[in-house]
Structure 1
Amino acid sequence: MHRPIARFCLLALCLLATPLSAFASAPEALLRDLGRIAPALNSQALRHALAAMQCAVNHGAEPARRLAVIDYSLPSSQRRLWIFDLQRKRLLLQDYVAHGRKSGENFAQVFSNQLGSHKTSLGLFRTAESYRGKHGYSLRMDGLEPGLNDRARERAIVIHGAAYVTPNWVAKHGRLGRSLGCPAVRPEVARMVVDQLKGGQFLFAWHNDPRWQQHSAYLQCEPQRVADIVARQQRLPRS
């Protein structure tokens, strides 16, 4: 065997032996820049959010202008929602966000993708269309992770404002009020959140639960599986 061919074959074998998740590592420069402007955000949560987003884009998803990250390992009494402008590398908001009433009290500990569970779902979402509903100006989302959050639209998991998401509620009850699984936000910021995130941005709901992380299609970044998910998701409304 000629030496150039031999070297090529060895390289190919090395690539095949490399874990797929290694190709979804977060872009280090962006990770560093966003970490600098959001020092309170768990570095692993941010790294996983960027890696999941990059995996989606690498396999056909349209790049987003903005990224929202929720760290559900934090208590609801803390500001655990971050919204980034990815183009300008700016932090647009750090604020409160509720979790599902069956997920836990102050801490979200149990997660579900099931209809009627009233629990929060984890993983990568793509935001879709804004609308006016019973909670006012709201934003629909599509879960991208099979078995983890892909029933979000069917479950009516949306971003909306809620009166139980306020510092006063925390002062009185020691936690925020809880939703039916929606990432509800303060009424004062609801319009801004919806307007900044509508139309095909990414939202990543994170927790330090290793069982969820091992089953996430985007953290594992399995090429064919992700490509199929992206193809299905691109047929959904974004306006």
Structure 2
Amino acid sequence: MLRKTGLMLALLLSTGLFAYTPQQNITLQPIASTANTAAEILIQKVRNHLDGMKAKTTISPKALEMGINGFLKLSAKGSVSPDKPLTIIDFSLPSSQKRLWTVDPITGKILHHTYVAHGRNSGGLMAKKFSNTHSSYMSSLGFYRTAETYSGKHGYSLRLDGIEKGVNDQARQRAIVIHGAEYANPEFIKKYGRLGRSLGCPALPMNQYKAIIDSIKEDGCLFIYAPPLITPRQAPYLTRT
């Protein structure tokens, strides 16, 4: 019986109907792509730093995941610099909480964590409405490339180029920039229970905006997130492709 079985196995091997190689077992389990592995590693690094900060507010897991995955895709295309910090604004949080993070893309270290204002017509305490149109006075979501700095009516400011067509690609024409504002300071929250609002710009506290602009300017990546339930037609942005 054993002899017959051996003869049958030899016949199958010789005809190619059954093939076995020692490496076959290695490939039975799917192997994660390099991009996914890089994203998972960076996400874990950021989470470790966030845990060490023990901040009162923390970033939404979805905002972090989408921000890092999108950043890695854009940097691989050469759309943003892989060496510049990634900035994530999480509009699932109210303006009374710190909801901007800048992340070192190598170490995962949190370089800045602060308040940021949203557009006047996007909402009061919470940003709930978003637009890509002129004179809407709303914030726009999605991925941006940070561009050049200039001095304007708000002083030292940073221009932004929206990367996502139909979502934020009118940012430069709308003059959506990063700048400092008195209404983005924590003292404003103590008085009114929320930050003041811009005309659509992500405005920052006066004592931090210059340092943040200098660290993220020129080919950096900015991601502005809001929960998909608020903006189902505009999510999940770049990670969808």
Shift in Å, 1:58: 3.0
Shift in Å, 1:27: 1.1
Give 1:163's aligned residue. Answer: 182
Give 1:46's aligned residue. Answer: 64
Which of residues 112, 115, 118 in structure 1 aligns to 2:131?
112
Give 1:18's aligned residue. Answer: none
Kindly indicate whether residue 41 of structure 2 is the aligned counterpart of residue 29 of structure 1. yes
Q: Equivalents in 1 of 2:154, 2:35: separation in Å?
A: 37
Question: Which residue identity lines up with residue 60 of structure 2 in the other structure?
Answer: N
Which of residues 109, 121, 141 in structure 2 aligns to 1:90?
109
Q: Equivalents in 2 of 1:187, 1:45: separation in Å?
A: 25
Q: Is the 8 A contact 1:65 1:87 kept in 2?
A: no
Q: Equivalents in 2 of 1:23, 1:149: separation in Å?
A: 29
Give 2:6's aligned residue. Answer: none
Q: Is the 8 A contact 1:64 1:202 kept in 2?
A: no
- Note closer, same or farther for the CA distance 1:24–1:88 as it changes in structure 2 (3 Å cut): closer
With a CA cutoff of 8 Å and minimum separation of 6, indicate the structure with the bigger relative contact order: 1
- Note closer, same or farther for the CA distance 1:23–1:99 as it changes in structure 2 (3 Å cut): farther
Question: Which residue identity lines up with residue 37 of structure 1 in the other structure?
Answer: H
Give 1:191's aligned residue. Answer: 210
Q: Equivalents in 2 of 1:213, 1:114: separation in Å?
A: 14
Question: Which residue identity lines up with residue 219 of structure 1 in the other structure?
Answer: T
User: RMSD of the alignment, in Å?
Assistant: 2.1
Q: Is the 8 A contact 1:140 1:156 kept in 2?
A: yes
Q: Equivalents in 2 of 1:31, 1:123: separation in Å?
A: 19
Q: Is the 8 A contact 2:146 2:220 kept in 1?
A: yes
CA displacement, residues 87-136 of structure 1 (integer Å, 9 cap, x when unaligned): 34321111000000000000000000000000000000000001111101
- Note closer, same or farther for the CA distance 1:195–1:212 as it changes in structure 2 (3 Å cut): farther
- TM-score normalised by structure 2 residue count: 0.78
* SS, match of residue 38 in structure 1: helix
Which of residues 198, 207, 214 in structure 2 aligns to 1:179?
198
Q: Is the 8 A contact 1:119 1:181 kept in 2?
A: yes
* SS, match of residue 156 in structure 2: strand
- Note closer, same or farther for the CA distance 1:113–1:107 as it changes in structure 2 (3 Å cut): same
Question: Which residue identity lines up with residue 161 of structure 1 in the other structure?
Answer: G
Question: Which residue identity lines up with residue 137 of structure 1 in the other structure?
Answer: Y
Q: Equivalents in 2 of 1:41, 1:152: separation in Å?
A: 24
Worse-superposed segment, 62-71 or 121-130: 62-71
Unmatched runs of 5 consecutive residues or more in structure 2:
1-15, 18-32, 52-57
Counterpart mapping for 1:79-158 below 5 A: 79-158=98-177
- Note closer, same or farther for the CA distance 1:57–1:136 as it changes in structure 2 (3 Å cut): same
Percent identity reads: 43
Q: Equivalents in 2 of 1:58, 1:41: separation in Å?
A: 24
Q: Equivalents in 2 of 1:45, 1:30: separation in Å?
A: 14
Q: Equivalents in 1 of 2:62, 2:239: separation in Å?
A: 12
Shift in Å, 1:213: 4.9
- TM-score normalised by structure 1 residue count: 0.79
- Note closer, same or farther for the CA distance 1:181–1:201 as it changes in structure 2 (3 Å cut): same
Greater Rg by CA: 2
Q: Equivalents in 2 of 1:117, 1:24: separation in Å?
A: 37
Shift in Å, 1:64: 3.8
Shift in Å, 1:154: 0.3
Kindly indicate whether residue 220 of structure 2 is the aligned counterpart of residue 201 of structure 1. yes
Q: Equivalents in 1 of 2:152, 2:169: separation in Å?
A: 21
Q: Equivalents in 2 of 1:215, 1:33: separation in Å?
A: 23
Give 2:90's aligned residue. Answer: 71
Give 1:220's aligned residue. Answer: 240
